[in-house]
């Protein structure tokens, strides 16, 4: 009798049971992944919040269960509505809902936490788009290999699901335990109660910093809060009252998080520091240099080069002996940083000398006025992210060679802009051909880009210089951290070899002494440092600190250097001008995302001390003290107020300059 009673209860409440099974599965799976990636129950490096006590964990899990239950209840209502209309019955109806829900959610979580496992929690479509050079198409192509592997795995699971479904459908298990009217009323009131309480629960989470940190990483809460936010966006400015940061003026379409703050209009559009102020005009010392002929300039950019490459050894051998010799005889800038961590924006910063777009006083324009003959030789497709057109590489009279022009020599089959690469040997061979053609009686500017250290840190044509085996792309994970590092450093050894070949060719033509050689990284690379792999998604030393070497020992550098400073330093060296960089109060501005839609902005000062502002949580991180503070706490604390004010004013000023530049450009 007890078993029959249990069977009756299960069958009467079979729909609720189906939802319950899905919720429990998703809860266990997602919490496991969240803890694996963010250490939410034990804490981790740079993690501002974790759930330590039993009460904190219980509260987080309860709220998490609530949003998962509401989320999957909605899909259950839709599914069973159509099933009832089609008059379908049988246990397989509930099997389909349960398994299919777990399949879809498990697939999404697998994609989110495994396929994109080398990103941290800042990853989103905007960042992928930036990594894809600003192109939506290339954003997907950028991650195509990981997506392909994932799709194959999902396909296998779907095949198994279909096979099991066909088997189960043979057993049309229907029992006469109907849901009576009273039960329908109870379910209806339960639904109304949940719908009414969920907005209140969402606001409760948003106002609770501890809960918000974890819940914002859960799919159910993210989707529900986004829907509520859209419904509450009464002024249609893209922000409502149910995400964080919230719209501070719900009836004013001009005021919302991240809005362009127009200086001097008395309105605080972005919600920070009151009304924006007009940026102070800064003397452009580069623009004051009179164009004239000087030494030849060779600018070499190394893809994904870490700042610690000069001291790195593998099996007792330096991985970059050529760069070490150049650094010892010239100048190695110890505190050099990329501004963005993306290849395309880094190259634009180097050539255009700013973060806001095309600059009339850019490097190639100055060299053209100075009578320099210009040659571009790149191992990547420089049309990627419109780098070539926006920096002047394709102007008339410029010699242009890149992975697109030599597409038949690419290292991989793919022809997408983000995947096109040439081997270091191919670029060196083209450089030697070009050097033989040049008239070194005229001043020459030569730009070289070596892609050796691009993910996955090897290609079929790469030489094994310091190790015997590369790690296969499919095995790149944190468990194989040591092999990933060895493969990466072998790639750097290949880039170092290529630089050596360039130096030898300059010596062959007896022009090395008359050449300023500048070598730097476009950005750094995390090799599972702090659990991260890759670049462009965090503001830290491994992803943004870069090597910067110049074969001029007279340069005096006592300040932090950004990529916008490189052109002036190179030109001053080539022209024999004073080259002192001694402002120890200087900061380098960095960001993740874009100026219009940043995820993170940062200032890095002498000694690597960073101030990082997270726009999503409105929290500030101070690296020297490893302290997280809310924006309101930081702005009220005399110890930190000046630093956060300086950072936000810098961002507002850059946005305003970019806005004016767009207006002037039509």
CA distance 137 to 145: 14
Give the model's pLDDT for residue 412. 86
466-483 core/surface letters (b: 16 or more CB in 10 A; e: else): bbeebbeeeebeeeeeeb
Model confidence at 120, pLDDT cuts 50, 70, 90, reads very low
Lowest mean pLDDT among 50-54, 118-122, 442-446: 118-122
Q: In the structure encoding, which two tokens stand for residue 457, read together? A: 């840190």
Instruction: Report d(CA 155, CA 168) in Å as an integer.
Output: 20
Contact predicate 37/102, CB 8 Å: no
pLDDT of 664 higher than 90: no
pLDDT tens for residues 495-519? 999 999 999 999 999 999 999 999 9
Q: Residue 396's CB: how many other CB atoms inside 10 A?
A: 5
CATH architecture of the domain formed by 296-586: 3-Layer(aba) Sandwich (3.40)
Residues in the chain, overall count = 666
Q: Are 626 and 561 in contact (CB under 8 A)?
A: no
Q: What is the pLDDT of residue 34?
A: 83
Give the tokens for residue 432. 């030697």
Tokens for 59?
């509260």
Name the H helices within 547-630.
Answer: 566-575
Comparing 110-124, 420-434, 447-461, 548-562, which segment has the lowest mean pLDDT?
110-124
Task: Label residue 157 by pLDDT band (50, 70, 90).
Answer: low
Q: Where are the domains of the chain?
A: 296-586, 587-666
What predicted TM-score, i.e. pTM, was given to this entire model? 0.79
Predicted confidence (pLDDT) at residue 42 exceeds the cutoff of 80: no
**Per-residue confidence at 5, pLDDT binned at 50, 70, 90?**
low
577-601 pLDDT, tens per residue? 999 999 999 999 999 988 888 889 9
pLDDT of residue 636: 95
CB 286 within 8 A of CB 571: yes
Statement: residue 68 has pLDDT above 80: yes
Q: Where are the beta strands (DSSP E) in 369-480?
A: 373-378, 399-401, 444-450
Answer for the pair 515, 506: CB distance below 8 angstroms, yes or no: yes
Q: How far is CA 266 from CA 111, 251, 275, 276, 660, in A?
A: 46, 18, 6, 8, 19
pLDDT band at 161 (very low <50, low <70, confident <90, very high): low
Q: Which of the four pLDDT bands, split at 50, 70 and 90, describes residue 195?
A: confident
Confidence (pLDDT) at 178: 54
DSSP for residue 304: T
β-strand partners of 444: 373
Inter-residue contact 595 to 122 (CB < 8 Å) = no
Question: So what's the pLDDT on residue 637?
Answer: 93
């Amino acid at each position: 009798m007890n078993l029959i009673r249990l069977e009756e209860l299960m069958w009467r409440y079979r729909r609720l049971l189906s939802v319950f099974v899905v919720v429990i599965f998703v809860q266990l799976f997602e919490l496991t992944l969240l803890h694996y990636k963010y250490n939410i129950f034990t804490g981790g490096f740079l993690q501002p919040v974790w759930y330590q006590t039993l009460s904190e964990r219980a509260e987080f899990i309860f709220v998490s269960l609530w949003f998962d239950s509401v989320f999957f209840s909605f899909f259950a209502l839709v599914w069973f509505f159509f099933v009832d209309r089609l008059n379908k019955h049988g246990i397989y109806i509930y099997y389909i809902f349960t398994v299919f829900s777990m399949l879809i959610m498990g697939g999404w979580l697998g994609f989110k936490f495994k396929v994109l496992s080398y990103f941290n929690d800042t990853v989103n479509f905007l960042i992928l788009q930036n990594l894809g050079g600003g192109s939506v198409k290339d954003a997907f192509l950028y991650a195509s290999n990981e997506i392909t592997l994932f799709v194959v795995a999902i396909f296998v699971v779907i095949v198994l699901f279909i096979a099991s479904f066909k088997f189960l459908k043979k057993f049309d298990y229907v029992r006469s335990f109907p849901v009576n009217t009273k039960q329908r009323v109870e379910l209806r009131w339960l639904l109304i109660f949940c719908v009414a309480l969920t907005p209140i629960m969402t606001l409760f989470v948003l106002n609770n910093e501890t809960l918000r940190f974890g819940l914002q990483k859960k799919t159910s809460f993210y989707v529900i809060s986004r829907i509520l936010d859209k419904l509450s966006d009464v002024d249609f400015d893209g922000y409502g009252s149910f995400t964080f940061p919230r719209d501070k003026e719900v009836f004013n379409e001009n005021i919302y998080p991240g809005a362009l703050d127009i200086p001097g209009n008395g309105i605080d559009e972005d919600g920070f520091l009151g009304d924006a102020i007009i940026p102070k005009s800064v003397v452009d010392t580069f623009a004051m240099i009179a164009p004239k002929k000087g030494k030849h300039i060779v600018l070499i950019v190394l893809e994904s080069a870490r700042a610690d490459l000069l001291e790195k050894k593998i099996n007792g051998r330096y991985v970059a002996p050529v760069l070490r010799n150049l650094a010892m005889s010239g100048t190695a800038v110890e505190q050099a940083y990329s501004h963005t961590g993306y290849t395309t924006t880094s190259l634009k910063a180097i050539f255009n000398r700013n973060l806001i777009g095309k600059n009339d006083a850019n490097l190639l324009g100055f060299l053209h006025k100075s009578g320099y003959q210009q040659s571009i030789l790149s191992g990547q497709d420089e049309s990627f992210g419109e780098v070539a057109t926006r920096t002047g590489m394709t102007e008339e009279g410029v010699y242009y060679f890149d992975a697109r022009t030599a597409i038949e020599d690419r290292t991989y089959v793919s022809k997408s802009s983000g995947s096109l690469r040439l081997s270091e040997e191919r670029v060196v061979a083209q450089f030697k051909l070009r050097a033989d053609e040049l008239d070194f009686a005229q001043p020459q500017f030569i730009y070289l880009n070596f892609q050796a250290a691009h993910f996955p840190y090897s290609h079929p044509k790469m030489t094994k210089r310091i190790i015997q085996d590369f790690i296969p792309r499919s095995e790149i994970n944190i468990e194989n951290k040591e092999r990933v590092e060895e493969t990466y450093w072998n790639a750097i050894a290949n880039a170092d070899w290529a630089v050596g070949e360039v130096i030898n060719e300059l010596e062959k033509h007896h022009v090395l002494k008359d050449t300023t050689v500048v070598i730097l990284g476009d950005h750094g690379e995390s090799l599972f440092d702090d659990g991260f792999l890759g670049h462009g998604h965090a503001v830290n030393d491994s992803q943004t600190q870069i090597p910067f070497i110049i074969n001029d020992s007279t340069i005096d550098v006592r300040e932090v250097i950004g990529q916008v400073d490189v052109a002036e330093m190179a030109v001053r060296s080539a022209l024999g001008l004073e080259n002192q960089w001694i402002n120890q109060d200087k900061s380098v501005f960095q960001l993740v995302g874009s100026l219009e839609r940043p995820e993170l902005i940062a200032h890095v000062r002498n000694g690597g001390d960073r101030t990082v502002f997270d726009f999503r949580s409105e929290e500030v991180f101070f690296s020297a003290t490893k302290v997280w503070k809310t924006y309101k706490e930081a702005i009220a604390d005399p110890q930190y107020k000046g630093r956060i004010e300086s950072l936000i004013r810098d961002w507002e000023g850059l946005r305003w300059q970019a806005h004016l530049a767009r207006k002037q450009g039509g």
